[in-house]
Amino acid sequence: MTAGTAAASTHQARFDAAMAADERIEPRDWMPDDYRASLVRQMAQHAHSEIIGMQPEANWITRAPSLRRKAILMAKVQDEAGHGLYLYSATETLGVGRDELLDKLHSGRQKYSSIFNYPTLTWADVGAIGWLVDGAAITNQVPLCRCSYGPYARAMVRICKEESFHQRQGYELLLALSQGTPAQHEMAQDAVDRWWWPSLMMFGPPDDASAHSAQSMAWKIKRHSNDELRQRFVDICVPQAEALGLTLPDPDLRWNEERGHHDFGAIDWDEFWQVLKGNGPCNEQRITQRRKAHEDGAWVREAAAAHAAKRASGRPGAPHESTASDGSGRESDEAQVEATA
Ligand code: BYC
C-alpha cells in the first residue's frame, strides 16, 4: 500500500465512523467526492427553488386585497430570498462558487422544484401555496435539520422556523376565504384542487424510481424516503382540510385502519417528468424572469464588489469596519459621503 492510498483509507475510515456515530461533517473535514457532489446537487437545487419560488407569489403583491395581506406577503417573499442566500452560502462551504451555481440554473443544468412551474391564477393560490407548498416543504425539511452536513443542517433550522410561519399564514388566508362569501369559498377550493397533486410531487419520484435516495440515506443527508414523507404529508393535510371546510381532490383518499395511514390515489408521474424536462406550464417564464432579474442586478453586484475592494485596499477614506459594518446602513452612508466630500 502506498502512502497515498493508506492516507485515503484512513480518511474514509474516519468518515465512515463519523457516519456510524451520527456525527456532523464540517467543511474542513475530509469527505468522499461523491458525498460532496451529491450535497452540492441537492443544496443547489434547494437554493434555486427558494429564489425561483419568489416569483409565483410576488405576482400577487401588487394585488393583495389589503395592506395587512400585502405586508405579510412581502415579508414572506423576502424570507424566501433569505433562504436562498443561506443555502447558497452553505453550498459555497463545499468549494463551489455562487456564480457557477447561478450559471447552472440559468442554463438549465441544475434543477429547481417542479412546484414553481405552475401558475398563480387567483389570490387564493397565495393561500394554497402557503398551506400546501410550504406545508410540504416543512415536512421534507424538518428531517434535513439532522442532515449529516453541518452547514446545511444549521441553515435548515432557521428556514424551518420561517416556513412554519409561512404555512400558518397560508392556512389562515384560506380559512378566511373558505368562510367568506360563496365566491370566495369557491376560489379557495379551486386553488386547492390545482395545487394538491403538484404538492405531492414535491417529495420527488416514488422510491423505486428515486435514483439518489438509497445513497443519500446511507450518508444521512436524507433521513426518510420520498414516499415516507409524502405519506406523512397526506396524513397531516386530511384533518386540516376538514377544519378548513375544503375538499382534497382525490376520490381515493381514505383512512386505512390496517396501515394506520390514509390511502391516496395515483399520482400522474408523467406530468412530473414532463415538468422536470421543462415542459410545465411556466418553466420558460420562470427561467426567463430569473435571467432578467440577474442581469438587472448586475450593477448591484458590481457596486458591492467595488465597495469590498475599496475597503480591502485600506486607502484613506475607504469605509472602516467601525462605520461601514455596524449594521445601521445610515452611518455607512455618512462615511461614504465624508470619504467622497
Ligand atoms: N422537482 O433521486 P431523487 C420550498 C429530481 S423550496 C424538481 O428522488 P433526491 C419553497 C432530483 O433532483 C422546495 N426535481 O432525488 C420555496 C433528481 O434529479 P438530479 C425545495 C426533482 O435528491 C419558496 C431526480 O429528480 N426543497 O419549499 O434523492 C416558497 C431524481 O429524484 C423533484 C428542496 O429542494 C422535484 N419535486 O430527492 C415556498 C428540499 N424531485 O438531481 C416553498 C431538498 C426530485 O439527479 N431536497 N427531483 O438531476 C430534497 O429533499 C431532495 O433533493 C428531493 C429529491 C426530495 C427533492
DSSP state of 204: -
Flag residues of the chain having pLDDT under 50: 322-341
In this prediction the pTM is 0.91
Report the separation in Å between the CA atom of 140 and the middle of ligand 1, taken as the mean of its atom positions: 10
Q: Check if the beta carbon of residue 271 is closer than 8 Å to that of residue 218.
A: no
Ligand 1 proximity of 203 Cβ (cutoff 6 Å): yes
The size of the chain, in residues, is: 341
Residues ≥6 apart with Cβ < 8 Å to 323: 331, 332, 334, 335
Ligand 1 proximity of 111 Cβ (cutoff 6 Å): yes
Residue with cell 443544496: 43
Residue-wise burial string across 202-234, b where 16 or more C-beta atoms lie within 10 A, e elsewhere = bbbbeeeebebbeebeebbbbbbbbbbbbbbbb
What is the rounded CA–CA span in Å between residue 238 and residue 240? 5
- Does residue 238 come out as left (phi exceeding 0), alpha (psi in the -120 to 50 range) or beta? alpha
Residue 117, burial from CB neighbour count under 10 angstroms (0-12, 13-18, 19+):
buried
What is the rounded CA–CA span in Å between residue 3 and residue 91? 31
- Domains present along the chain, CATH in parentheses: 11-300 (1.20.1260.10)
Angle between the 298-313 and 283-296 helix axes, to the nearest 10 degrees?
Answer: 40
Ligand 1 proximity of 205 Cβ (cutoff 6 Å): yes
Ligand 1 proximity of 250 Cβ (cutoff 6 Å): no
Ligand 1 proximity of 113 Cβ (cutoff 6 Å): yes
Task: Report how far apart, in Å, the C-alpha atoms of 106 and of each of 13, 110, 159, 285 are.
Answer: 38, 8, 24, 12
Q: Whose CA is nearest to atom 52 of ligand 1?
A: 42
Ligand 1 proximity of 79 Cβ (cutoff 6 Å): no
Q: What is the pLDDT of residues 162-189, one digit of tens each?
A: 999 999 999 999 999 999 999 999 999 9
Atom number, ligand 1, closest to the C-alpha of residue 202:
36
Ligand 1 proximity of 49 Cβ (cutoff 6 Å): yes
Q: Whose CA is nearest to atom 31 of ligand 1?
A: 210
Q: Whose CA is nearest to atom 21 of ligand 1?
A: 204
Q: Whose CA is nearest to atom 3 of ligand 1?
A: 210
24, amino acid identity:
R
Question: Which of 43, 101, 111, 223 for mutating ligand 1's site (highest number of atoms within 8 Å of CB)?
Answer: 111
What is the rounded CA–CA span in Å between residue 1 and residue 250? 60
Confidence at residue 320, expressed as pLDDT on a 0 to 100 scale: 58
Pairing of strands 261-263, 254-256: antiparallel
What is the rounded CA–CA span in Å between residue 179 and residue 1? 73
Ligand 1 proximity of 178 Cβ (cutoff 6 Å): no
Ligand 1 proximity of 213 Cβ (cutoff 6 Å): yes
Ligand 1 proximity of 42 Cβ (cutoff 6 Å): yes
Report the separation in Å between the CA atom of 191 and the middle of ligand 1, taken as the mean of its atom positions: 23
Q: What is the pLDDT of residues 284-296, one digit of tens each?
A: 999 999 999 999 9
Confidence at residue 4, expressed as pLDDT on a 0 to 100 scale: 73
Ligand 1 proximity of 199 Cβ (cutoff 6 Å): no
Confidence at residue 316, expressed as pLDDT on a 0 to 100 scale: 62
Confidence at residue 332, expressed as pLDDT on a 0 to 100 scale: 38
